[in-house]
Amino acid sequence: MKRLQELSVIDIDTAASDDETAALPEGYFKTDTVDRQNTYIRNAEVAESALKILNTLCPEKKGLAGLFSQKRLLSPEEFYPDRKRTEKALSVAFEVTESERKITELKAEAARLDMTREQMLPWAELDVPLSFSGTVSTRAFIGTVSGVYDTEGLYAKIAECDPELALYTEVVNTGKDITYIFACCRNSDAARAEAVLRSLGFARPFQITSKLPRVKIASKEKRAEDCLKKASEYTEKIKKIAENRREIEALADYCRNRAERYRAAGEICETGHTVLIKGYVAERDLPFLQKTLDKQFTVVIEAEDADENLAPVILKNNAFARPAETLVKMYSLPGPNDIDPTFVTGFFYYLFFGMMFSDAGYGLLMVIATTLVLKKFRLSASMRQNMRLFRYCGISTVLWGLVFGSFFGDSIAVISENFFGHRVALPALIDPMNGDAVTLLILSIALGFAEVIAGLCAKFVTCLKNGDKKGAFFDAGLWITCLSGIAVMAVGFVALPVLKTVGIAVTLVSVAGLILTQGRDKKNPVARIFSGIVSLYDVTGYVSDLLSFSRLMALGLTTSAMGAVFNMLSSMSGRSLGGIVMLVIIFPVGHAINFGLNVLGAYVHTLRLQYVELFSKFYEGGGREFKAFSFKSKYTDLDAENIKEEN
């Protein structure tokens, strides 16, 4: 199991594990590994909690590399630590979590002491304990009454309630709508005094103490300071433990991988001497798996073609299309009746992204940045694919920027004119900012038409793959010819009149074919024709799809317009000192804002065009991803050459 985890080429079949009634092969049994799995899961959680605490109290400075989550390469001895090292790292992790727990308790106690101290502060000037209730011959009352009084006002209020009562009263402090008092009377007048005070809303203090308030306040301040001092000591202790961060990270990954291994071990069948592992392997990896396992184990491998309806999906594409696999996975992997849409998705995604972003300067920045990241950093497989995706998008952006004559907007023309007195501009095949917006709109619709036709062609291929020849020719083929006929006819109206006749003929023949075939599942001839006529309403959907591609023009214009505005603002003061300062400040900041806003817009809207306008034509999805039994590491990786050959 350890070797299979290193090779990362098999998706262990868990179907039998999910079905409790599934019968095991004769003589085989399954080992319950749940307890051991849970033990390692708990240890991994302790390590993760310790790392979270360390990252909060003493975060590690990772710099630019931290953005790409590089994993540290460990030797096999480090990646598979012995028991002594594991126990040591686990002890350190427990020490961190325990110290953090004590810090939390101490800070909570300090907060509680501060709160009780604040409650006693109004009594600081009182010269008797709050628990004082009088002498042998007197009765004392310590508490608060509603309202704000001075001594004379309080005496007057008491006199209103009971003019004959002899009650000595002293105002200790006042607050918001409240007065803190000390009162004293003879024992014989205690009942009358209590009745009067009750009518004034008298209430005892929350804290009754036998010490003087000022002494108690000082004591609570000292105890709160001691708590915070101890919490600070524990914090410093944790910061010193941060030197062992790498060991705790390795522990977290080790425990996570051991838990994964026990999970997988609980799903396989075994006897006293053998194990039986069932799963899925890519056909290209099978010889490598056989050769590698034969070197170390006595093993028999039996392989057969997987059931397409049950097998997981592995996408296989060339270097150009492979980065777009992430886009397909975000939507859904191909189902058993689908074709792989990655190539067509990637082609149009690169094309449309560049057209929306449409600035050679921005595209050049993307190409340089992604290339540097790919060369300088050791990235995860998914991050590497994303970098390649954006590099292709950057290349497309550069090309479209040259078509539109845009390099950081019209920066070359504006700066040369305002600072050098001579206007120099990039040549543009299409200049949407100066009268070519309609041309750009027509181009956007034309490219959208190309993607819609590509989607229908993909539907044609999908139908043939599934043996549905009628669906291929009638449902996809006729719509391809119908839409193509309309497009040819439109060109004929604008440019070549001869194409108008050809387009009309192709369109009419296609429409007739749709009317005759779209209701072919109906037995009644009238219902069949009626269904065919109704199906022509779908043309409105295609028109709507084409109009959606106007966003190519809209976002392209947005990028250019915002760039032009920032160029104008940065150069409006000309060759003066202030103008140079404005150029140095506004130009990079403005274009950074433009870059951030429009790269996000291009990413989202291009993705929307693929999912809605393209995938809706032919793609169902629903495939299950191939999940190789492999390392589940977050911080570290095994530095072992030739564990898996490149395919």
Question: Mean pLDDT throughout 625-641?
Answer: 85
Q: Using the predicted structure, report yes or no on whether residue 640 has a pLDDT greater than 70.
A: no
**DSSP string covering 272-303:** SS-EE--EEE-GGGHHHHHHHHHHHS------
Q: Where does the pLDDT of residue 483 fall: very low under 50, low under 70, confident under 90, or very high at 90 and above?
A: very high
pLDDT reported for residue 24: 74
CA gap 203, 219 in Å, rounded:
25
Beta-strand relationship, 275-276 and 279-281 = unpaired
Q: Using the predicted structure, report yes or no on whether residue 269 has a pLDDT greater than 70.
A: yes
Q: What is the 3-state secondary structure (H, E, C) of 216-264?
A: HHHHHHHHHHHHHHHHHHHHHHHHHHHHHHHHHHHHHHHHHHHHHHHHH
pLDDT reported for residue 130: 93
Q: Using the predicted structure, report yes or no on whether residue 573 has a pLDDT greater than 90.
A: no
Decide: 560 and 432 in contact? Cβ < 8 Å: yes
* Mean pLDDT over each residue of the chain, to the nearest integer: 90
pLDDT reported for residue 136: 94
Burial of 380 (0-12, 13-18, 19+ CB in 10 A): middle
Q: Where does the pLDDT of residue 577 fall: very low under 50, low under 70, confident under 90, or very high at 90 and above?
A: confident
Query: Domain locations in the chain?
Result: 1-30+267-312, 43-115+219-259, 131-204
Q: Using the predicted structure, report yes or no on whether residue 586 has a pLDDT greater than 50.
A: yes
pLDDT reported for residue 171: 94
CATH T-level assignment (fold) for domain 131-204: Alpha-Beta Plaits (3.30.70)
Q: Using the predicted structure, report yes or no on whether residue 255 has a pLDDT greater than 60.
A: yes
pLDDT reported for residue 646: 38
Region of 274 (left: φ > 0; alpha: ψ -120 to 50; beta: rest) is beta
Q: Using the predicted structure, report yes or no on whether residue 604 has a pLDDT greater than 90.
A: yes
Question: Mean pLDDT throughout 366-386?
Answer: 90
pLDDT reported for residue 642: 45
Question: Mean pLDDT throughout 410-435?
Answer: 81
Residue 169: what are its φ and ψ, rounded to 5°? Answer: -135, 140
Q: Using the predicted structure, report yes or no on whether residue 202 has a pLDDT greater than 50.
A: yes
pLDDT reported for residue 632: 86
Q: Using the predicted structure, report yes or no on whether residue 595 has a pLDDT greater than 90.
A: yes
Lowest mean pLDDT across 32-46, 137-151, 290-304, 405-419: 405-419
Q: Using the predicted structure, report yes or no on whether residue 20 has a pLDDT greater than 90.
A: no
Q: Where does the pLDDT of residue 598 fall: very low under 50, low under 70, confident under 90, or very high at 90 and above?
A: very high
Q: Using the predicted structure, report yes or no on whether residue 319 has a pLDDT greater than 70.
A: yes
Question: Mean pLDDT throughout 288-311?
Answer: 92
Question: Mean pLDDT throughout 233-242?
Answer: 93
Inter-CA distances, 623 with 279, 304, 312, 321, Å: 17, 20, 7, 19
Q: Using the predicted structure, report yes or no on whether residue 61 has a pLDDT greater than 60.
A: yes
Question: Mean pLDDT throughout 492-507?
Answer: 87
pLDDT reported for residue 99: 95
Of all residues in the chain, what percent carry a pLDDT higher than 90?
67
pLDDT reported for residue 85: 92
Q: Where does the pLDDT of residue 421 fall: very low under 50, low under 70, confident under 90, or very high at 90 and above?
A: confident
pLDDT reported for residue 21: 45
pLDDT reported for residue 332: 93
pLDDT reported for residue 372: 93
Half-sphere exposure of 222 (CA within 13 A, CB side): 6
Residue 473, Cα to own-chain centre: how many angstroms?
Answer: 43
pLDDT reported for residue 316: 92
Lowest mean pLDDT across 90-104, 141-155, 328-342, 372-386: 372-386
Q: Using the predicted structure, report yes or no on whether residue 66 has a pLDDT greater than 90.
A: no
Q: Where does the pLDDT of residue 647 fall: very low under 50, low under 70, confident under 90, or very high at 90 and above?
A: very low
SS3 29: strand
Strand positions, DSSP E, 456-573: none
Q: How many CB atoms lie within 10 A of CB 534?
A: 12
pTM for the full predicted model: 0.81
Q: Using the predicted structure, report yes or no on whether residue 166 has a pLDDT greater than 60.
A: yes
Burial of 468 (0-12, 13-18, 19+ CB in 10 A): middle
pLDDT reported for residue 23: 67
pLDDT reported for residue 645: 43
What confidence tens digit (pLDDT) does each residue in 544-562 have?
A: 999 999 999 999 999 989 9
